[in-house]
Structure 1
Amino acid sequence: MEERRERAAEREARARRALAVLAAAAVGLAGAWLGMLLLAPTTVPMGPFRVEVSAAFGRGVTRVGLPPFGELTADTHVAPIGLSATLRDVGVQRLTDLVAQRGLEGLVDDVERDAPVRVRAFAWRLLAVAAVGALALALLVYRTRVRRIAVGVATAIVVVAASEGLALATFRAEAFAEPTYSGSLALAPKLIGPVHEATGRIEDFRAGLEQLIDGTVRAYTTIQTAPLIDEDTIRVLHISDIHASPLGMDFAREVARGFDVDLVIDTGDLTSFATPVEDLIVARIPAFLRPYVFVRGNHDSRALQAQVARQPNAVVLDGRAETIEGLTVYGLGHPTFNPATGVPADEEAFAESARAAGVAIAADLEELDAPVDLAAVHDDRMAEEVAGLVPVVISGHFHETRAEVVNGTLFLRIATTGGSGAGIFRGLDEIPLSAEVLYFTREPRPELVAFDVIEQLPETGDLTVRRTTVGEAFGALTPSPSPSPTATVP
């Protein structure tokens, strides 16, 4: 009997020791995870790029972030560790010079030379911070129980080292032939090449690297070498002429998210034919998750305007001003309602109607207690009367992008965010989706300092971003009703 009790006690003691070891191992892994999360991320140079690399326990995927365009994810390895590389800075001039002198092959050579060195250094860093995290948490939990602390740290080192080795052994660059896209990239798979082309040419690491770099070059060399925008700015997404295009609304929403804008201003023609089925496009407005300012276009009915106003995040401006996210915006809906029926409109009468609205806008502005920062109309002919009275006028209607200064007022037109709208079903899919992001200072009062024009072809996914710095392109803008020279950026 006594012997049986001793054996039972011994088994119980072994079980307790095993549980203690498992608990210490769990503490070590938790500490390693915290260490990797908090201490591992680091930014390293790779050719003309500066890339932030990080890793943490998780699914065996590699994420490549190309802000502000979005992110792509590929199932590249089977190890229980997720890898991430986010492009933080691009030496655009060096990038342009390198591609011009040595072509894409030369750029790939530089990145391929730098990448293994940076990755090896990061692997050692990851192992070190995992050990530090495990040690810190084990000391916090076990204090002076040296053996359990040692078990936790040893477990962290072994698991992280084994995960790194397994990731290296099973890594497949060809997985980027079929990645998952998010952000603006979801609308632009062409950014890194279509799948059917990539599958045929990605055979090794170099080919996969070349594909990613090619997409990055095509995206980032479209951004002009302008000063970086201060983080403390008001960011406004300007869209127009969606024409009931779900693709256009999705594009606008992804740009709003990717550029982290504070508000959206839609300068009208949300629909085309004034049919009830088109009103379904309004249901997509809440998904923007930020204020959505709407100014009625000539294809938008007042019933549609009322429906927009019922959306929880919508602000309808029709002859009034409102301060939103620190920016005072005035808006007036188009005076003419003429849904697209296929019957040619009287252009002369239409233009006269638009210009006649200028008197009402001038009267509204004069009655305001404080000046506005921006005026939004569908057709900029409506605001010709107030050139020199407001700093910025934004509009659409003409399906062309244009920037022009009149009497010190900057008139910004954006083309069509909906592309061809319903025309996409008629094969008119070569019209790009267009939007622009405006950057305003906050202090001492909002002032436009720059704007980005973003265009994307729906068929190919080709994406361009062109930045214009207002001071460099137009000089100091001083609104004045008296005539002044006109400057234009096409």
Structure 2
Amino acid sequence: MKRLLHRLFNRRTARWSSLVLIGVVGALTGLLLGGRIQTPVGPADASLSFSLSWEGGTVVDVPPLGSLKLDSHSGPVVLNAQISQLRPSATESFLNDPNAVDELSKTITDQLRHGLVWMAVRGALVGFALAFLIALLVYRAWRPAVAALTAAAVTLSAFGVVAWLTFRPSSVAEPRYTGLLANAPQLVGDVQTVVQRFDEYRGMLAKLVGNVSELYATTSTLPIYEPDPDTLRVLHISDIHLNPIAWDVIRSITTQFQVEVIIDTGDLTDHGSRAEDRFADNIETLGDVPYVFVRGNHDSPGTQKAVAKNKNAIVLDGTTQTVKGLRIYGAGDPRFTPDKTTEDDSMTPEALQAEGEKLAAPLRGAPDPPHVAAIHDGNQARPFDGVTPLILSGHSHNRKTELLPHGTRLFVQGSTGGAGLRSLEHETPTKIELSLLYFNRETLALQAWDDFTLGGLGEQSVQVERHLTSTPPTAATPTSESPAPASAPPAP
């Protein structure tokens, strides 16, 4: 008798456990599949969805700038919101009406409330239906199906109760910025002073939409150039100098603009020490995007080895490699001057040009010349004039472009790390600079580039400047052209 009762108990326990599991799985799956909607938010359209994470919270994506995260609630459900597009007519009328902000504030609140309620209802209905149908298919009876549906309802109710009890209205005053937004928090206004109570949240949302509208309206005035599938996108960075914020900026632009190759022209570290080698591990966080690196004068041979350990890294040191069809020649800086005390620091510009001539000589007249040369110091890069159509360099922390006598474009990048902590030595912080280069995928000629400029430490500004080449030279026969517009005067 005891054995029979024990078996019945075990069977019932297993049955109820399976029904609870079906209910939970159905609820979660329904929440993820059904809890997705597109809703208007003022002059923009926003995508709302749920995702799972033990941390909970809210994530607001603002392409292509990055995202901000709010600790709005606890629990396994995260609310995701993304501004997907702006409606031109609505944006224009909003920007032209100074009184629109007050009306927009209430409109956004109502639209978001309606969207969130409808999203939750949809997710719950899909979850209930899945739990009911799965249990019906497994047990072929309506009572177990109702039990699974009840388990799903309890699960979703528990999620809702946890979110309600842990809801933190003050979280809107303490957002965490990632991507380009890490350097431009003014996009949502001064939240420390604007957001004093949750009742003012809708005012902050109105300002967010308004500022994003102005941003997109401003960038629409850039010269017309639409990258297409025939365009190869290459991101040029340089002189990060151990600034961790640089990785957020690089990662955001790489993702949003579908960058296919990253070229780093050196000075990843400050002193090239072994302790700094771990900083190079961030390269793998950029995914499968090839990361082409040449050593700068602040990078040691150990730094170069640390970079090479990353799966997506390609280290060039007097070598040429084809990456995504683009032949790239690179050479490390002949100096190692981490603290201005080594003899290498006394190399004159003439000595650097002589070193560059030694590197460039074997490439002259080559049947397959490089499309791009990556050299850290522009002085060492000048002898490559006529060898390649484009030279990428850095070192000076001052972005500029120059057409050399034989038609090669010398492109000197600023500091993508804002010169690191060195920027604190100056009254005006060094700006964070990097550029997105557009190559024709067939001819591999440079067609245009976007210069990204972010305010340095303590500043809050973002600028994107578009430049078009007039008659881009081919890889084999560089030719002269009229200088394209640049954000800085040509180098002397």
TM-score in same-fold range (> 0.5):
yes
Partner of 2:490: none
Task: For residue 431 of structure 1, give the secondary structure of its aligned residue in structure 2.
Answer: coil
What amino acid is the match of 1:255? V
Alignment partners' CA distance in 2, 1:482 and 1:70: 39
Alignment partners' CA distance in 2, 1:156 and 1:418: 49
Shift of residue 79 of structure 1?
A: 6.4
Alignment partners' CA distance in 2, 1:335 and 1:116: 61
Shift of residue 27 of structure 1?
A: 0.3
Q: Is the 8 A contact 2:397 2:419 kept in 1?
A: no
Alignment partners' CA distance in 2, 1:444 and 1:392: 16
Q: Is the 8 A contact 2:455 2:462 kept in 1?
A: no
Is residue 131 from structure 1 mapped to residue 125 from structure 2 by the alignment? no
Task: For residue 488 of structure 1, give the secondary structure of its aligned residue in structure 2.
Answer: coil
Shift of residue 400 of structure 1?
A: 2.4
Is residue 255 from structure 1 mapped to residue 249 from structure 2 by the alignment? yes
Following superposition of structure 1 onto structure 2, how do residues 95-134 of structure 1 map, counting pairs within 5 Å?
95=91, 98-102=94-98, 105=102, 108=105, 111-134=108-131
Is residue 402 from structure 1 mapped to residue 396 from structure 2 by the alignment? no
Shift of residue 14 of structure 1?
A: 7.8
Pick one of 248, 263, 266 that aligns with 1:265: 263
Q: Is the 8 A contact 2:400 2:412 kept in 1?
A: yes
Task: For residue 388 of structure 2, give the secondary structure of its aligned residue in structure 1.
Answer: coil
Following superposition of structure 1 onto structure 2, how do residues 211-290 of structure 1 map, counting pairs within 5 Å?
212-213=208-209, 216=212, 223-224=219-220, 229-230=227-228, 235-242=233-240, 245-247=241-243, 250-258=244-252, 259-260=254-255, 261-270=259-268, 280-289=275-284
Partner of 1:71: 67
Aligned in 2, Cα 1:281/1:152: closer, same or farther, shift over 3 Å? same
Aligned in 2, Cα 1:191/1:358: closer, same or farther, shift over 3 Å? same
Task: For residue 51 of structure 1, give the secondary structure of its aligned residue in structure 2.
Answer: strand
Partner of 2:30: 35
Aligned in 2, Cα 1:68/1:411: closer, same or farther, shift over 3 Å? same
The Cα offsets for residues 391-445 of structure 1, whole Å up to 9 and x where unpaired, read as 432222332233455666544332112324343443646222222233446x446
Q: Is the 8 A contact 2:37 2:115 kept in 1?
A: no
Pick one of 359, 375, 378 that aligns with 2:376: 378
Q: Is the 8 A contact 2:188 2:204 kept in 1?
A: no
Aligned in 2, Cα 1:384/1:119: closer, same or farther, shift over 3 Å? same
Partner of 1:321: 320
Alignment partners' CA distance in 2, 1:93 and 1:399: 41
Q: Superposition RMSD on alpha carbons, in Å?
A: 4.3
Q: Percent of pairs identical after alignment?
A: 30
Following superposition of structure 1 onto structure 2, how do residues 388-427 of structure 1 map, counting pairs within 5 Å?
389-403=387-401, 409-426=408-425
User: Paired residues, what number?
Assistant: 468
The Cα offsets for residues 138-184 of structure 1, whole Å up to 9 and x where unpaired, read as 34433x22221232234434643675587579755432212344445
Alignment partners' CA distance in 2, 1:355 and 1:88: 49
Is residue 486 from structure 1 mapped to residue 487 from structure 2 by the alignment? no
Alignment partners' CA distance in 1, 2:394 and 2:117: 51
Alignment partners' CA distance in 2, 1:124 and 1:149: 20
Shift of residue 13 of structure 1?
A: 5.8
Partner of 2:453: 455
Shift of residue 85 of structure 1?
A: 1.0
Shift of residue 458 of structure 1?
A: 4.2
Alignment partners' CA distance in 2, 1:353 and 1:427: 29
The Cα offsets for residues 198-250 of structure 1, whole Å up to 9 and x where unpaired, read as 554654331342464467457756755666655786553322233xx332xx1
Shift of residue 30 of structure 1?
A: 0.3
The Cα offsets for residues 61-118 of structure 1, whole Å up to 9 and x where unpaired, read as 2221234443332232456532111233345786476335437556545534532333
The Cα offsets for residues 355-413 of structure 1, whole Å up to 9 and x where unpaired, read as 55564454343364523232212344544454565343222233223345566654433
Alignment partners' CA distance in 1, 2:382 and 2:176: 47
Q: Is the 8 A contact 2:446 2:469 kept in 1?
A: no
Shift of residue 33 of structure 1?
A: 1.3
Structure 2 regions of 5+ residues with no counterpart? Answer: 488-492
What amino acid is the match of 2:193? E
Alignment partners' CA distance in 1, 2:353 and 2:143: 84
Partner of 2:142: 146
Structure 1 regions of 5+ residues with no counterpart? Answer: none
Aligned in 2, Cα 1:285/1:182: closer, same or farther, shift over 3 Å? same
Q: Is the 8 A contact 2:328 2:371 kept in 1?
A: yes
Pick one of 10, 30, 55 that aligns with 2:50: 55
What amino acid is the match of 1:454? F
TM-score of the superposed pair, with normalisation by structure 1: 0.77
What amino acid is the match of 1:474? T
Partner of 2:433: 434
Q: Is the 8 A contact 2:316 2:330 kept in 1?
A: yes
Alignment partners' CA distance in 2, 1:387 and 1:109: 60
Q: Which moves more between the two structures, 228-237 or 422-431?
A: 228-237
Alignment partners' CA distance in 1, 2:333 and 2:76: 57
Alignment partners' CA distance in 1, 2:17 and 2:272: 64
Shift of residue 310 of structure 1?
A: 4.9
Alignment partners' CA distance in 1, 2:119 and 2:7: 44
Task: For residue 489 of structure 1, give the secondary structure of its aligned residue in structure 2.
Answer: coil
Alignment partners' CA distance in 2, 1:370 and 1:420: 36
Aligned in 2, Cα 1:476/1:112: closer, same or farther, shift over 3 Å? farther
Q: Is the 8 A contact 2:242 2:269 kept in 1?
A: no
Aligned in 2, Cα 1:79/1:270: closer, same or farther, shift over 3 Å? closer
Is residue 174 from structure 1 mapped to residue 170 from structure 2 by the alignment? yes
